């Protein structure tokens, strides 16, 4: 055990999600209980490290936060230390502030930093590690698209919220005999759409990984009507697109490392279905609703396990690693192997197979192999 460690830092980076506070709580309690180590929390992700904004976290500060959504530390998805946006004359310039971050870390007498975040945070952490910052990663995101772990915390809670929405929309779909299209977040991966679609009894699920054929989608709707089921539920991932089409960009945030914010594909799908079938459609875009609320019990346990393990990793000296869940057991993956990669839904994934066995349309003609529609790279 690393007896030298006296003080560790923690930050939450990227989009928030349920479970962040549960990780912070687990880190502070474990550091105190098992090792008598002090914890400093940087505010607003890497922004706080660069700007030297932080607070000391004592056990009393994390009392009662297990059930709270968001993060008591604040977060930012626009704080790349190597390309740090600084407002100058009403416009942003971008500076490499990574050395400032290292200096602040050293001045505080920290021994290591626990970075809780998704792919953007892990990518920044990989580069900060190359500059000598000793980092342990904790994987979070509602998108569940992080490489090196089977699951991220935050995802289950988002699935629960999305499923609840699909359930509620089901009844109005039935009453009005409509096609209801529900768009969920998830960026370039379809995990959230796939899981909430299956859990909510969706009839058609459109994922970024399988650009859809609108005729196949309409055929699925018509087949249901012909069978006497006069409504359909379509769950669409925000990164879905038609065959030969493009993802729908809602806005671009130029200060963000990945500037693209997706949203709005469901309106295209609705217009196309209405045009080709004459059946009335309605659209619901769930958006940031999926990032809010109290973490599910699954996420509370997962986030707590991750937080406890991250502190053990610090004390064991497993620097440069991200805590991970692999085949149901805690493990770890080098942060350098996670950065820049996305974990996407694949045609052979058991959930995809289940969807197909249930007759859920994935927007592909029924007589054609799904593999032929699979697109792994991100086509923006």
Instruction: Report the catalytic residues.
Output: 143
- Strands 91-95 and 112-117, by their bridges, are unpaired
Q: Which stretch binds ligand F6P (CB under 6 A): 42-50, 135-143, 301-309, 365-373?
A: 135-143
> In the chain, which ranges are E strands?
7-12, 38-42, 54-57, 84-88, 91-95, 112-117, 135-139, 179-184, 204-206, 232-237, 249-252, 260-262, 281-285, 321-326, 329-334
| 122: contact with ligand F6P by CB under 6 A | no
Q: Which of residues 242-301 bind ligand F6P (CB under 6 A)?
A: 261-262, 291
Question: CA 184, 299, 133 angle in degrees (round to 5)?
Answer: 95
By beta-carbon proximity to ligand F6P, the closer residue of 45 and 186 is 186
- Going by C-alpha positions, the residue among 311, 236, 245, 232 that lies closest to residue 274 is 232
- Minimum distance, C-beta of residue 15 to ligand F6P, in the bound complex (Å): 4
Q: Which of residues 2-61 bind ligand F6P (CB under 6 A)?
A: 15
By beta-carbon proximity to ligand F6P, the closer residue of 69 and 186 is 186
| 186: contact with ligand F6P by CB under 6 A | yes
Q: Are 42 and 101 in contact (CB under 8 A)?
A: no
Length of the chain: 380
Q: Which of residues 208-247 bind ligand F6P (CB under 6 A)?
A: 238
Q: Which of residues 166-185 bind ligand F6P (CB under 6 A)?
A: 185
Number of residues lying near ligand F6P (CB under 6 A): 13
- Strands 329-334 and 232-237, by their bridges, are unpaired
- Minimum distance, C-beta of residue 260 to ligand F6P, in the bound complex (Å): 8
Q: Are 219 and 57 in contact (CB under 8 A)?
A: no
Cα four-point dihedral sign 351, 324, 237, 242: negative
Phi, psi of 331 (to 5 degrees): -150, -160
By beta-carbon proximity to ligand F6P, the closer residue of 197 and 320 is 197
- Minimum distance, C-beta of residue 129 to ligand F6P, in the bound complex (Å): 22
Q: Which residue is nearest to ligand F6P (CB)?
A: 185
Which residues contact ligand F6P (rule: CB under 6 A)?
A: 15, 77, 118, 141-143, 185-187, 238, 261-262, 291
């Amino acid at each position: 055990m690393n007896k030298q460690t006296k003080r560790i830092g923690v930050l939450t980076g990227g989009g928030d999600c349920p479970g962040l506070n549960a990780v912070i709580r687990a880190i502070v309690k474990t550091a105190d209980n098992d090792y008598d180590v002090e914890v400093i929390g940087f505010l607003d992700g890497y922004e706080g490290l660069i700007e030297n904004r932080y607070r000391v976290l004592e056990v009393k500060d994390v009392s009662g936060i297990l059930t709270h959504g968001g993060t008591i530390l604040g977060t930012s998805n626009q704080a790349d230390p190597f390309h740090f946006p600084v407002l100058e004359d009403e416009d942003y310039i971008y500076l490499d502030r990574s050395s400032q971050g290292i200096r602040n870390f050293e001045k505080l007498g920290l021994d290591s930093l626990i970075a809780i975040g998704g792919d953007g945070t892990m990518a920044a952490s990989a580069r900060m590690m190359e500059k000598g910052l000793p980092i342990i990663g904790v994987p979070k995101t509602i998108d569940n698209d992080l490489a090196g772990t089977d699951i991220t915390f935050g995802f289950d809670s988002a699935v629960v919220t999305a499923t609840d929405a699909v359930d509620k929309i089901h009844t109005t779909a039935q009453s009005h005999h409509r096609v209801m299209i529900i768009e969920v977040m998830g960026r370039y991966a379809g995990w959230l759409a796939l899981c909430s679609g299956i859990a909510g009894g969706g009839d058609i699920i459109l994922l970024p990984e399988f650009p859809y054929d609108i005729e196949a989608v309409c055929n699925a709707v018509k087949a249901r009507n012909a069978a006497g089921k006069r409504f359909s539920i379509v769950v669409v991932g925000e990164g879905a697109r038609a065959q030969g089409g493009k993802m729908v960009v809602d806005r671009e945030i130029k200060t963000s490392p990945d500037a693209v914010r997706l949203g709005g594909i469901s309106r295209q799908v609705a217009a196309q279905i209405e045009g080709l079938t004459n059946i009335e459609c309605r659209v619901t875009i769930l958006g940031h609703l999926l990032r809010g609320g109290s973490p599910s019990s699954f996420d509370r346990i997962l986030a707590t396990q991750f937080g406890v393990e991250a502190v053990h990793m610090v004390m064991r000296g497993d620097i440069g690693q991200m805590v991970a869940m692999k085949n149901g057991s805690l493990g770890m993956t080098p942060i350098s192997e996670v950065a820049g990669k996305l974990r996407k839904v694949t045609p052979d994934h058991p959930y995809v197979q289940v969807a197909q066995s249930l007759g859920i349309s994935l927007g592909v003609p029924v007589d054609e192999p799904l593999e032929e529609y699979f697109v792994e790279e991100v086509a923006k």
